[in-house]
Amino acid sequence: MSDEGPSCPAPFAAYDRVVLAHGGGGRATHQLIETLFRKAFDSDELREAHDGAVLALEGPTAVCTDGFTVRPLFFEGGDIGSLAVHGIVNDLACCGAIAEALTVSFILEEGLPLATLERVARSLGAAARACNARVVAGDTKVVERGRGDGVYIACTGLGRVRARLAPKRIRPGQRVILSGSAGEHGIAVLLARGDVAIGSSVKSDSREISSIVHGLIDADVALSCARDPTRGGVATALCELARTAKVGVRIDEGSVAVSDGVRDACELLGLDPLYVACEGRVLLFVDESDAERALAIVRAFDAQAALIGEVCQDDDALVTAVGPFGGERVLDMLSGEQLPRIC
């Protein structure tokens, strides 16, 4: 270093966008890991610089995986980084597990500003820390301009199982609780695309619901199954569960909280809020005798939580919704694609 002129730039310091070499496994990949990812995700396992991480897992372990391709990357209430963490932590919670470790695989598009990647990585790291989960292994691939869409993330989570929750444990007579209002995430992403405008703003519900599920487990509530109603919304999640458990489900449509913004957007677009994705809500199946107690616990997390329905015997595994005027309609799985790429 001399006083007489600008110092020699560090190798690759000049990159401000993702180049193919960042996925090549050589110098640029290493620089990306050392200057950006390790700062965002620091963990003992990543510092080992090995091909993978070695974990001491005790007892039954849940493993969940999800790809994230949400467009745009940033939206009111979240971004692809925090969404990936919440998605996986919530899937683990629905398996009765507490998230311990995450792996993150990035597929980046050539030309992505590194500042954008850094913002995503920091958000992912912060969300993981907030959920007490460590990022223990990762990978980066880069595809040519026009062969991706900025950032895709595949995330896998490992967690310690505390309770056996499963669709097959759902029984007639059990009550269904929804932990908050429906459809905010899907509508927030749609609005962030700028294709529609409504009077009010809608913030994604993206959040972890693990503390709700484990709050119920801690309180020894007779909980048989939990499911986060993501793609396809509350209606599709209920249809899936009914089919797997070979039971019917009957819900009272009026008891499902829907915010004004979601209602306005759904009316404008001809969408049904029951089919719009949530990313921070959970459907909980509890024994009738524990239903009120469970609801009180869930309401401590979200005042809009409600008992929305009950499980009944039905070999056809129908899910029906009773409307405000007493009419009953059959809810089927989402057919076709309503809102592509909302997660």
| Contact positions with its own copies (CB under 8 A) in 46-65 | 48-57, 60-65
Give the range of 140-148, 202-210, 301-309, 311-319 binding its own copies by CB under 8 A: 140-148
* Angstrom distance (rounded) from CA 45 to CA 53: 5
Site for its own copies, residues 168 to 207, rule: CB under 8 A:
168
Q: Pairing relation of β-strands 97-109 and 134-143?
A: parallel
φ and ψ of 151, to 5 deg = -140, 125
Give the range of 214-222, 295-303, 315-323, 328-336 binding its own copies by CB under 8 A: 328-336
Binding its own copies (rule: CB under 8 A), the pick from 140, 179, 204, 206 is 140
Site for its own copies, residues 101 to 120, rule: CB under 8 A:
101, 103-107
Give the range of 119-127, 145-153, 186-194, 286-294 binding its own copies by CB under 8 A: 145-153
Give the range of 153-161, 203-211, 286-294, 303-311 binding its own copies by CB under 8 A: 153-161
- Would you say 52 or 288 has its CB closer to its own copies? 52
The tokens for 167 are 């669709």
The tokens for 291 are 């239903």
91: region left, alpha or beta (phi > 0 left; psi from -120 to 50 alpha): alpha
Site for its own copies, residues 65 to 104, rule: CB under 8 A:
65-69, 91-92, 94-95, 97, 101, 103-104
Site for its own copies, residues 210 to 229, rule: CB under 8 A:
227-228
Q: List 176's β-bridge partners, or say none.
A: 285, 309
The tokens for 336 are 């076709």
Q: What count of residues does the chain have? A: 343
- DSSP designation for 10: P
> Least distance in Å: CB of 62 to its own copies?
5
Site for its own copies, residues 250 to 309, rule: CB under 8 A:
277
> Least distance in Å: CB of 31 to its own copies?
10
> Least distance in Å: CB of 49 to its own copies?
5
CB-based burial, 280-318: b 16+ in 10 Å, e otherwise: bbbbbbbeeebbeebbebbeeebebbbbbbbbeebeebb
Q: Is the dihedral of CA 265, 339, 246, 294 positive or negative?
A: negative
- Would you say 14 or 54 has its CB closer to its own copies? 54
Binding its own copies (rule: CB under 8 A), the pick from 36, 126, 130, 154 is 154
Give the range of 15-23, 111-119, 207-215, 313-321 binding its own copies by CB under 8 A: 15-23
> Least distance in Å: CB of 173 to its own copies?
22
* 25 near its own copies, judged by CB under 8 A: yes
- Would you say 6 or 340 has its CB closer to its own copies? 340
Report which of 190, 67, 207, 192 is spatially closest to residue 131, judged by C-alpha positions. 207
Residues touching its own copies: how many (CB under 8 A)?
A: 84
Using the structure block, give the residue that is written with the tokens 């008992």: 307
Question: In sequence order, which residues have a C-beta less than 8 Å from that of residue 331 and are 6 or more positions away?
Answer: 235, 238, 239, 251, 274, 319, 320, 321
Give the range of 142-150, 179-187, 251-259, 305-313 binding its own copies by CB under 8 A: 142-150
The tokens for 268 are 């404008």
Site for its own copies, residues 230 to 249, rule: CB under 8 A:
230-232, 236, 240, 244
Using the structure block, give the residue that is written with the tokens 């020699």: 8
